[in-house]
Chain A
Amino acid sequence: MTPIDLTQVASRFKSGWLAINQRTLKIVAHAKDFSSIIKKTEDKKEVVLIPASEDFSHIAPRYYE
């Protein structure tokens, strides 16, 4: 399967949130925070929400209770 390449799209903005069309992978909206991106996109279809960042390369944390 071809991976979804969001290396360019996700780094267009350094912070905030992006709404991306799932089919075209084009940015539909950007907002400074989670509430704002939801407000901008609640009526839109085929959209997914991702944080905007130049770097997603962190180690996934491990959790123990």
Chain B
Amino acid sequence: MSKYPYSLFPPKDKPVLKPYIYIRLGCKKTHKIIPNPVLALIDSGADMCLCKKYIGDWLGLNFNKLKRGEITAVNKTRFVVLIHPLTVFFQNKIYEASFSLSDEIPDQTPIILGQKGFFDHFKITFDLPNKEIEIV
């Protein structure tokens, strides 16, 4: 299936339809793969893919050895990220993508899929009037 419905999340009095999907992540080095899909936001405004640091913890990443980068958020605050390639499992595709790991991204969006690492692997159509996202 390549069409996915938009999702509605709390609060109920301020409903906003958002393009969330569910993906699995893994790490080639540690051979660990998250067994069930995790909520991920398709964010066309994000340059790269990001995820919460605790996902990297679970995958067994050695944070002392990771390359560091810096990200500027929409409110111009800067925060440090740790960068590591992770394996993305989505639809029938399995591929490596560079992820920036940080505790600074919102708890409600544990994985953010951006241009590099997601949009460069799929053709994505946001059809909000029909409340669906097509990913091919």
Q: Could you tell me which A residues sit within 8 Å of B by CB distance?
A: 1-8, 10-11, 19, 22, 33-35, 38, 41-42, 44, 47-51, 53-65
B38 close to A49 (CB less than 8 A) = yes
* Proximity string of chain B (25-41) to chain A, C-beta cutoff 8 Å, 1 when within and 0 when not: 00000000011111101
Bound Cα distance from A62 to B38, whole angstroms: 21
* Proximity string of chain B (62-103) to chain A, C-beta cutoff 8 Å, 1 when within and 0 when not: 000000011111100000000000000000000000001000
A60 close to B43 (CB less than 8 A) = yes
Size category of the B interface is 35 or more
Known pairs A48-B38, A65-B48 / 16 extra A-B pairs, C-beta < 8 Å: A1-B131, A4-B6, A4-B7, A5-B7, A6-B9, A33-B54, A34-B54, A34-B58, A35-B54, A42-B36, A49-B38, A53-B108, A60-B41, A62-B72, A62-B74, A63-B45
